[in-house]
Amino acid sequence: MSVFTAACALLFNAFYKQAKNTAITKLNEEQMIHAKQAAHGIEDFFGTWTGTLNSFSKMNEIIDTDADGQRYMKLFYEAHQDQIRSITRVDEGGTIIHTVPYSRSQGRNISGQTHMQEILKEHKPVVSDVFKTVQGFYAIALHVPVFRGSVFKGTISIVINFENLAKRYLDVIKIGKTGYASVISRDGTQLYSPLPGFTGKSVFENIKGYPSLIVMVNDMLNGREGAATYTFDRGDRNVGQTKKYAVYMPIHIENTFWSIAVVSAEQDVLSGLISFRNKLAVVIGALFICGMVFSTLGAKAWLIVKEEEKRNQAEQRLQESERKYRELVQNANSIILRWNRAGEITFLNEFGQKFFGYSEKEILGRHVVGTIVPETESTGRDLSPLMDEICAHPEVFEKNINENINRNGERVWISWTNKIVKDSEGQVLEILSIGSDITDRKQAEDALRQSEEKFFKAFHATPDAIVISRASDGLLLEVNDVFVRQTGYSREEAQARTTVELDLWDDTNDRERYVAALKSEGRVREMEARFRTKSGNVLDGLVSGEGMVLGVQPCLLTIIRDITERKKTEAELEKYRLHLEDLVNERTIELEAKTNELEQSQKTLQSLLEDMNKAKKELETANERLKNLDQLKSMFIASMSHELRTPLNSIIGFTGMTLQGLSGELNEEQKDNLARAYQAAKHLLALITDVIDISKIEAGRLDLFPEELSLKKVIDEAIVTVQPQLKEKRLTLAVDVPEDVKLNTDRKRLLQCLINFLSNGVKFTEKGGITITAREHDADAEISVTDTGIGIAEEDMPKLFEPFERLDTHLRVKAGGTGLGLYLTKKLATDILQGSISVQSVEGHGSTFTLRVPKDLHQGFDSDKI
């Protein structure tokens, strides 16, 4: 049994261990992927900025850092100020020539800084250590060399907010409940850690007291890649020591490298294994329960035997006390009492006086109750009425047994023989009572009764079948309920017959063995035998027996325990154990095959990845130049457009004010001239505004401001802007928009799209009207603007959303507009609002422009692409 349990425990342990190792391997693979992604992300990040600064450094204005160059630096800073904190030009001697935004460090020499010494010597891009700025954030400086021809002319550098970088590549790493990333620099500074107070300190200070970490940190500082296990104690009593699994790898950046570690706690690994472990535990649990049941039954059988022994002892005690009693009577030392019909004592002999502890004087004339008779017996019987009854009808109470009490309050049981004393006329004079102390006998009787009660209870309550048979002829005297239930014979059928008559023994040899053992040993313990029930079923049993005396006759107590189920369970368990072994073998073979397959596919994947990386690198170099050029272009357009707008605002402002007559009355011609100038300036402003928007979208620099809004309200707002033209052209307007549609999107950009649709509709419609409908489609909202205007020819459809493709030449409609409206609308709809735009049209009958956008512009949208 215990061997079997131990075997199962071993099996459990082996299974559990294997599953745990697999889980840890998987976790480390997952952690490595996270680490790689973050590392490549950070490498790309710096690669991109180095490329951008490189292109910038080749501009003559930047090399000279003249007024134009300083202006370009300002533009560069403004275009990237969400990413960079400053841009700085340093000369070949290490002195800061110009910095944006302006700071007092301008003119200062910084050649003493380690990374400056490196670039001044090596003339190659460098990255500084992470430092804490005076404003309190962590930052990194990136310096790129500036050359005129082949002559080194110092550096151009930017300061990058390290926290932005961390948020983007490191904060996102979350594995399980506790997994996180940690980054250290080559000199051991903790660049990033989600643990409070760690960032910026020396990693050795942070891991002080955890020797298991030092090996890993040393590996990291040597730029190695690997995996490690260590225990970590945060000093939190509730958490205690945590076992952690970590992987680490270097991040290569310009002149240096950092090392990233991705770490998870052991409980993350274990939590996934709980259900597996529980299933195994059920099997082990079943085995333990069997063991428990067997030992309980054994204990119960032992109790029964024990009770029988007690009963025998009690009986012996009884015989002993009876002997004592006889002696007492023979010695004639009895209590002799006389009392009258009023219950008063008239005589008590010396023995009685000694017995109760009263002198003759003290006791004579007193009532029996309250002196030698207590009011109430310990059994609860009231004695006062009994005494009255005896006095009234002494003839009925020839004998009675009641409890008495002596002077000291000790209670005794006395058996009384009462005789009536009559006077000469035959009247009852008094009662003569002779009493003997039977306290010992009474106690012995009680003990016997209790012991028999206990035996009876055990006899029926035990889960085993019990038979009491007469030793002389084997007739069954008593059987318990379990026997009746198990054999199918009723108590009446079994009593006064023998086991042979009942045909109870399946094999008569078993009976002979049992009887022989009883004769030689006096008792039998747990002999295996098979028994036949009334219906002919055969049961496996364990039979125990022992001789006893019931009343006066020698008897035999036989206990039969049914072990049929246990036998069956044992056989099944054996079967199951064999099956389990087969199963383990089978699974092991499967697992090996799977592992081989996996290795094979991993190899294939790896070679594929290598090919891909090669191709990617080639593509990257090709793309880089293109990207830099494109970004620079977009950046300049955005900034220059701002410069263009400022004077235009003045033109529009002043002409507007004059036109409104605020500077004095104008004649009609002056008014007309000014109105034309005013309209032209407004048109130019609209054009610039559209160009800015487009260039910003193309550069990926249009910021997104999602907010909760009512679609109906935004549509109403768009309608207001075209209301004057609608009125002027006498066009109808139908609005079919549900009131309750709520969106979470960029209000301004949605409004811009809707206004564009509406003003287009009004512009190209001379008769009829405009219809606006809005509908919800699952997670999207769809808004359509239908007009009854000139429509669009099929051959013009493809050009519709191209920039500066105005179709008016065909249509001979004089329309305003920048020619960028639909192009911009499409860009906003797809690139910013994450939706789509479509058009349906029949030439000469009108068009329907439809915008479909997601109702919830998800927060994860990456708006600050580089």
Partner 1 sequence: MKTALIIEDNPDNMVLITRLLEKFGYRTLQAVTGMEGFEMALQRRPDFIILDIQLPDIEGTEVLRKIRSSEIGTSIPVIAMTSYAMSGDREKLLSAGCDGYIEKPIDPEHVISQIRRLTGETA
Under the rule (CB under 8 A), what is the footprint of partner 1?
642, 645-650, 652-654, 656-657, 660, 662-663, 682, 685, 689, 692, 702-705, 707, 746, 748-749
Distance CA 97, CA 62 (A): 11
Q: Using DSSP, state whether 321 is helix, strand or coil.
A: helix
Residue placing its CB nearer to partner 1 in the complex, 285 or 653: 653
Taking each helix axis from N to C end, the angle separating 564-659 and 2-57, rounded to the nearest 10 degrees, works out to 20
C-alpha of 482 from chain center: 50
Residue type, 555: C
Residue 775 tokens read as: 């509908």
Residue 404 tokens read as: 């008495």
The minimum distance between CB 136 and partner 1, in angstroms, equals 17
Residue placing its CB nearer to partner 1 in the complex, 256 or 655: 655
Distance CA 428, CA 391 (A): 10
Residue placing its CB nearer to partner 1 in the complex, 435 or 706: 706
| Sheet arrangement for strand 241-253 | 190-192, 180-185, 256-265, 241-253, 226-233
The minimum distance between CB 638 and partner 1, in angstroms, equals 11
The minimum distance between CB 816 and partner 1, in angstroms, equals 17
Residue placing its CB nearer to partner 1 in the complex, 283 or 644: 644
The minimum distance between CB 748 and partner 1, in angstroms, equals 4
CA atoms within 13 A on the CB side of 295: 8
The minimum distance between CB 656 and partner 1, in angstroms, equals 6
Residue placing its CB nearer to partner 1 in the complex, 305 or 648: 648
The minimum distance between CB 148 and partner 1, in angstroms, equals 31
The minimum distance between CB 832 and partner 1, in angstroms, equals 9
**CA nearest neighbour of 559 among 516, 517, 599, 525:** 525
Residue placing its CB nearer to partner 1 in the complex, 464 or 746: 746
CB 488 within 8 A of CB 510: no
CB 295 within 8 A of CB 34: no
The residues with which 430 forms a beta bridge, in sequence order, are 340, 421
The residues with which 775 forms a beta bridge, in sequence order, are 782
The minimum distance between CB 696 and partner 1, in angstroms, equals 10
**CA nearest neighbour of 355 among 406, 403, 411:** 406
Burial class (CB in 10 A: 0-12, 13-18, 19+), 662: exposed
CB 148 within 8 A of CB 63: yes
Range list of β-strands (E), 754-835: 769-777, 780-787
Residue placing its CB nearer to partner 1 in the complex, 603 or 642: 642
Residue placing its CB nearer to partner 1 in the complex, 432 or 704: 704
Residue placing its CB nearer to partner 1 in the complex, 351 or 654: 654
Q: Are strands 732-736 and 769-777 parallel, antiparallel or unpaired?
A: parallel
Distance CA 721, CA 763 (A): 13
DSSP sequence for 470-539: ETTT--EEEE-HHHHHHH---HHHHTTS-HHHHT-BSSHHHHHHHHHHHHHHSEEEEEEEEEE-TTS-EE
Q: Residue 428 has what DSSP assignment?
A: E
Q: Are strands 180-185 and 190-192 parallel, antiparallel or unpaired?
A: antiparallel
Residue placing its CB nearer to partner 1 in the complex, 361 or 865: 865
Distance CA 438, CA 444 (A): 10
The minimum distance between CB 697 and partner 1, in angstroms, equals 12
CB 39 within 8 A of CB 223: no
Q: Using DSSP, state whether 844 is helix, strand or coil.
A: coil
The minimum distance between CB 848 and partner 1, in angstroms, equals 27
The minimum distance between CB 706 and partner 1, in angstroms, equals 10
The minimum distance between CB 593 and partner 1, in angstroms, equals 58
CB 699 within 8 A of CB 638: yes
Left (φ > 0), alpha (ψ -120 to 50) or beta: where does 717 sit? alpha
Residue placing its CB nearer to partner 1 in the complex, 429 or 644: 644
Q: Residue 101: is the preceding peptide bond cis (ω within 30°)?
A: yes
Residue placing its CB nearer to partner 1 in the complex, 31 or 752: 752
Residue placing its CB nearer to partner 1 in the complex, 456 or 705: 705
Tokens 């900025």, located at residue: 49
The minimum distance between CB 133 and partner 1, in angstroms, equals 18
